Amino acid sequence: MLGLMQDWPLLCHKILDHAAIQHPNREIVSRSVEGPIVRTNYRDVRQRALKVAKRLEQEGFQVGDRIATLAWNTARHLEAWYGIMGMGGVYHTLNPRLFPQQIAWIMNHAEDKALFVDLTFLPLVEKIAAEVKSLTKVIVLTDGANMPQTSLPDVVAYENWIGEADADYRWKALDEKAASGMCYTSGTTGDPKGVVYSHRSNVIHAMLACMPDAMGISARDTILPVVPMFHANAWGLAQSSPMVGAKLVMPGGRMDGEAIYELLTTEKVTFTAAVPTVWLLLLQHMEKNDLKLPHLKKVVIGGSACPRSMTEKFEKNYDVEVIHAWGMTEMSPLGSLATIKPEYAATTGDALFDIKQTQGYAPFGVEMKVTDDENNELPWDGKKFGRLKVRGPAVAAAYYGGAGKEQFDADNWFDTGDVAHINENGYMQITDRAKDVIKSGGEWISTIDLENIAVGHPDVAEAAVIGIAHPKWDERPLLVVVRKEGKNPSKEELLAFMEGKIAKWWMPDDVAFVDEIPHTATGKIQKTTLRDQFKGYELPTASSAA
């Protein structure tokens, strides 16, 4: 017997329709790429998204065509996204921090037919456009007055282009399983892999993200997604914010501490989200200038492990609640959030920060387990760590073109490549990427744990831990440190600071000081490059062991 309920396909453009009907005047404020702060609202964004859809269709683009965007978070980017999806196209966000050759490779792999690009990245596109054979149209997200000279063929200023259409368009009636968007993983090894979202997965993900014990956002929030739309859908905020009708503040291309602080205060932002490196810049800016955060209530930190010192600073010094979150491009991206279950209602002080330090628990819509190398499920005891596997309606079932088949098993479990343990209350803690974990004397050492402790030292700006070959133990940890400006902590001081906070045999064998630690295009520490940098490094403990 089937249910007798309506078939109302979960389509992304319905989110924007809803926002335009229920919250038409809610503002969307952008720091434009041209410079000034510009204001619009959900009603106008929808009207302009309809024009985008109509123009794309007039140009001959069809359902299923991949239409790329290479752009910062702005209202124009949002309009382009919804316009692309509404005509049945597949938005494909490109990460401008990748090398031009990688971007060209990704565009060719996805066979992008058109590209919406910010002024910032036009020189980059001029370099690679000829290599992307499928590309027939470039739309520069600006107006005629700001349109520069360019060597590109078939290029047009966005405002002129949509100016030629009216908004008399009906969104395409699509199957909810139709592809809505694409995003390639940043892939520190091998070729990037394409994740293909569906309308259904994006809508379900947006709903799960909004839930009170997930991001917990509402129409009364003002949301600043610092996390870019090209980094895993701005963690879903480009869909969940219009879903609840929150005011949106889009930071454009400026993500330095000063620019972010300005938006947080002038727009009275209550909720924001980004990777730890962004917050490092903001905290430094605020400390230097003795500033406060009178409006901000919540900050979601993820993408890489949030150092405990960062959580403590936000909560103790600025009275801002930190939600540590974990996720992946393959998961749309939310996988877990460290909000507080009633089991910890009476927990306070350091013990509460211990919980907030974890990557949290999976909301409805994400199933999670950890297994050993033989795929046996490990107990949820907060100790035994193994491979973290997930499944759910917003988790990838395959990569575009069939790459990475070995990461998916017959029961739909996706092997995240992360190593983690889960405690008795369901709180998961990432201890490493499987390929970064240090194998010492047959046991595993978590590099993330060591980094978190090291970065808690007041003179340390950033820390990374890598395994160095060792004649006796296979591998031993090397702590690589960037010192804070004007500070000069010694190796002995740092090791003494770590002592007692971890098992003795986890203590790094040496400390190396560097000016800079390499990062990936999504702000993670690039351990592969760091390992190359320290190839052949001789640990002081190696000679005595040999």
| 443 in catalytic set | no
- What amino acid occupies position 375? N
Paired tokens of 253: 């291309």
**Which is nearer to ligand AMP, 161 or 184 (by Cβ)?**
184
Give the count of residues interacting with ligand AMP (CB under 6 A).
22
Q: Is 88 in the site for ligand AMP (CB under 6 A)?
A: no
CB 158 within 8 Å of CB 141 = yes
Paired tokens of 105: 């490779």
Per-residue binding string, ligand AMP, 328-367, x by CB under 6 A, is xx---x-------------------------x--------
Residue selected from 209, 232, 263, 478 as contacting ligand AMP according to rule CB under 6 A: 232
Q: Is 522 in the site for ligand AMP (CB under 6 A)?
A: yes
**Which is nearer to ligand AMP, 238 or 430 (by Cβ)?**
430
Separation of alpha carbons 488 and 230, rounded Å: 37
Residue selected from 73, 93, 180, 185 as contacting ligand AMP according to rule CB under 6 A: 185
**Which is nearer to ligand AMP, 186 or 222 (by Cβ)?**
186
* Residue of 444, 491, 528, 541 marked catalytic: 444
* Residue of 316, 383, 439, 472 marked catalytic: 439
Question: Which among 7-15, 324-332, 394-402, 505-513 is the span making contact with ligand AMP, rule CB under 6 A?
Answer: 324-332
**Residue 252 bridge partners (DSSP):** 73
**Which is nearer to ligand AMP, 250 or 305 (by Cβ)?**
305
Q: Is 326 in the site for ligand AMP (CB under 6 A)?
A: yes
Q: Is 451 in the site for ligand AMP (CB under 6 A)?
A: no
Question: Minimum distance between the CB of residue 477 and ligand AMP, rounded to whole angstroms?
Answer: 17
Q: Write out the E strands in 268-357.
A: 271-274, 298-301, 321-327, 334-337
First vs last C-alpha separation in the chain: 72
CA distances from 389 to 148, 372, 432 (A): 48, 11, 14
Paired tokens of 61: 């683009």
Question: Minimum distance between the CB of residue 201 and ligand AMP, rounded to whole angstroms?
Answer: 15
Question: Minimum distance between the CB of residue 301 and ligand AMP, rounded to whole angstroms?
Answer: 7
Separation of alpha carbons 246 and 27, rounded Å: 8
Q: Is 305 in the site for ligand AMP (CB under 6 A)?
A: yes
Q: Is 102 in the site for ligand AMP (CB under 6 A)?
A: no
Task: State the DSSP H helix or E strand holding residue 480, giving kind and residue range, or none if neither.
Answer: strand 474-483
Paired tokens of 298: 């919540």
Separation of alpha carbons 529 and 155, rounded Å: 37
In terms of DSSP bridges, do strands 114-117 and 90-93 run parallel, antiparallel, or are they unpaired? unpaired
**Which is nearer to ligand AMP, 72 or 235 (by Cβ)?**
235
Question: Which among 158-166, 366-374, 414-422, 499-507 is the span making contact with ligand AMP, rule CB under 6 A?
Answer: 414-422
Question: Minimum distance between the CB of residue 252 and ligand AMP, rounded to whole angstroms?
Answer: 21
Q: Is 235 in the site for ligand AMP (CB under 6 A)?
A: no
Separation of alpha carbons 78 and 506, rounded Å: 46
Question: Which among 41-49, 256-264, 322-330, 345-353 is the span making contact with ligand AMP, rule CB under 6 A?
Answer: 322-330
CB 364 within 8 Å of CB 208 = yes
Task: State the DSSP H helix or E strand holding residue 287, giving kind and residue range, or none if neither.
Answer: helix 276-289
Separation of alpha carbons 188 and 436, rounded Å: 11
| 444 in catalytic set | yes
- Other CB atoms within 10 A of residue 313 CB: 17
* Residue of 40, 69, 93, 185 marked catalytic: 185
CB 22 within 8 Å of CB 245 = yes
**Which is nearer to ligand AMP, 324 or 421 (by Cβ)?**
324
**Which is nearer to ligand AMP, 84 or 331 (by Cβ)?**
331
Q: Is 311 in the site for ligand AMP (CB under 6 A)?
A: no
Q: What is the dihedral of CA 508, 514, 520, 522, to 10 degrees?
A: 90
| Chain position whose Cβ is nearest to ligand AMP | 329
Q: Is 303 in the site for ligand AMP (CB under 6 A)?
A: yes
Cα angle 397, 402, 408 (rounded to 5 degrees) comes to: 40
Separation of alpha carbons 456 and 131, rounded Å: 46
Sequence-ordered list of residues with C-beta below 8 angstroms from that of 107, at least 6 positions apart, any chain: 68, 92, 94, 115, 128, 132, 134, 135
Dihedral angle sign, alpha carbons of residues 174, 176, 179, 183: positive
Question: Minimum distance between the CB of residue 305 and ligand AMP, rounded to whole angstroms?
Answer: 4
Separation of alpha carbons 200 and 429, rounded Å: 29
Residue selected from 304, 431, 440, 447 as contacting ligand AMP according to rule CB under 6 A: 304
Q: Is 252 in the site for ligand AMP (CB under 6 A)?
A: no
Separation of alpha carbons 118 and 102, rounded Å: 18
Question: Minimum distance between the CB of residue 218 and ligand AMP, rounded to whole angstroms?
Answer: 24
Question: Minimum distance between the CB of residue 490 and ligand AMP, rounded to whole angstroms?
Answer: 29
| 439 in catalytic set | yes
Nearest Cα neighbor of 495 from 465, 537, 525 is 465
Per-residue binding string, ligand AMP, 27-66, x by CB under 6 A, is ----------------------------------------
Paired tokens of 344: 């910890």
* Residue of 57, 176, 267, 330 marked catalytic: 330
Q: Is 433 in the site for ligand AMP (CB under 6 A)?
A: yes
Q: Is 416 in the site for ligand AMP (CB under 6 A)?
A: yes
SS3 514: coil
**Which is nearer to ligand AMP, 142 or 186 (by Cβ)?**
186
Residue numbers annotated as active site: 185, 330, 439, 444
List interacting residues with ligand AMP (CB under 6 A): 185-186, 232, 302-305, 324-329, 333, 359, 416-418, 430, 433, 522, 524
